Amino acid sequence: MTIHPVPVIAIDGPSASGKGTVAQRVAGKLGFHYLDSGALYRLVALAATRSGVDLGDETALSEVTAHLDVVFEDSEIRLGNEDVSDAIRAEACSNAASRIAAYPQVRQALLARQRAFRRCPGLVADGRDMGSVVFPDAVAKIFLTASAEMRAERRHKQLMEKGVDANIATLLEDIRERDRRDSNRAVAPLQVGAGTFLLDTTSLNIEQAVESVLRHADIGAKGRA
Ligand code: DC
């Protein structure tokens, strides 16, 4: 008897590419679990900042990571007893997360936690190294991207809808800076690996992107009701 591992669809890509929304919808359509790995890096950044840990101290950060008391429940993310779903999305937290994500010890300390999300009937995982490092045996690997200008525009629209004032030029600059940091770091850099399907969503809407991922993963027909 052959035992098939729980299928994983890995969706990697740069900041604000919309991969979170697409990954969540794909997971919903297939009835799969969902891992937002970026949220884990954001949580480490938030926990470290709050406890006064120096963001340049790799060992102290890996300790924070190992002891992270976090619960993902529906759309809520709790650190200890506090719902931090909004706090981890603040721009300051995004920048801190991108900095600490460059440390090998932090990445190593998050590995088992990420892999624990792999449960029946399947998982859709989004991040930067889902297909290359965390789930190298994923059944489908997708690199979802869009032009930096389009990503800045989408992030701007999102923030305006939430009533948060934002400057599109500053957002674009931040996105470019994070792209640079995420792509040039020595460990698990953001890249389109071999066997990865490149999906450029610059001129696609969310539904079209979701359909494209499902078509590529080829478990759409079986998984959908
Ligand atoms: O996907 P996001 O914007 O929420 O991720 C926040 C930061 O975490 C981002 O700058 C890069 C880092 N990250 C990473 O290095 N590896 C992942 N698998 C996910 C996120």
- In the chain the domains, ranked by start, together with CATH numbers, are 8-217 (3.40.50.300)
| pLDDT value of position 62 | 96
| The token pair that represents 44 in the structure block | 């480490």
Q: How far is the CA of 155 from the CAs of 179, 217, 219, in angstroms?
A: 15, 27, 30
> Which one is predicted more confidently, 192 or 52?
52
Q: Tell how far the Cα of 5 is from the centroid of ligand 1, in angstroms.
A: 26
Chain centre to alpha carbon of residue 114: 11
| pLDDT value of position 165 | 87
Q: To the nearest whole number, what is the mean pLDDT of the chain? A: 91
Which residues on adjacent β-strands are paired with residue 12? 127, 143
Q: Tell how far the Cα of 196 is from the centroid of ligand 1, in angstroms.
A: 18
Percent of the chain with pLDDT over 90: 74
- Range 64-78 average pLDDT: 92
By the 8 A CB rule, do 36 and 126 touch?
yes
- Range 40-58 average pLDDT: 96
Q: For residues 97 and 19, what is the distance between their CA atoms, to the nearest angstrom? A: 17
| pLDDT value of position 156 | 93
Q: Which stretches within 126-219 are classed as H helix?
A: 148-161, 168-184, 206-217
- Range 98-108 average pLDDT: 95
Q: pLDDT for 6-45, tens place per residue?
A: 999 999 998 888 899 999 999 999 999 999 999 999 999 9
For residue 54, pLDDT over 80 is answered with yes
Q: pLDDT for 111-159, tens place per residue?
A: 999 999 999 999 999 999 999 999 999 999 999 999 999 999 998 998 8
Task: Determine the atom of ligand 1 nearest the C-alpha atom of 12.
Answer: 18
Indicate if ligand 1 lies below 6 Å from the C-beta of 179. Answer: no
Task: Determine the atom of ligand 1 nearest the C-alpha atom of 20.
Answer: 1
Number of C-beta neighbours around residue 168 at 10 A: 15
| pLDDT value of position 184 | 85
Q: Tell how far the Cα of 108 is from the centroid of ligand 1, in angstroms.
A: 14
For residue 222, pLDDT over 60 is answered with no
Indicate if ligand 1 lies below 6 Å from the C-beta of 132. Answer: no
Q: For residues 19 and 58, what is the distance between their CA atoms, to the nearest angstrom? A: 28
| pLDDT value of position 186 | 83
Indicate if ligand 1 lies below 6 Å from the C-beta of 98. Answer: yes
Pocket test for ligand 1, best of 35, 37, 95, 130 (most atoms within 8 A of CB): 37
| pLDDT value of position 178 | 87
Query: What's the residue count for the chain?
Result: 225
Indicate if ligand 1 lies below 6 Å from the C-beta of 212. Answer: no
Q: How confident is the model at residue 190 (pLDDT cuts 50, 70, 90)?
A: confident
| pLDDT value of position 224 | 44
- Range 179-200 average pLDDT: 86
Q: For residues 221 and 225, what is the distance between their CA atoms, to the nearest angstrom? A: 8
| pLDDT value of position 85 | 94
| pLDDT value of position 225 | 39
First-residue to last-residue Cα distance in the chain: 27
CA-based nearest residue to 45, from 104, 111, 90 = 90
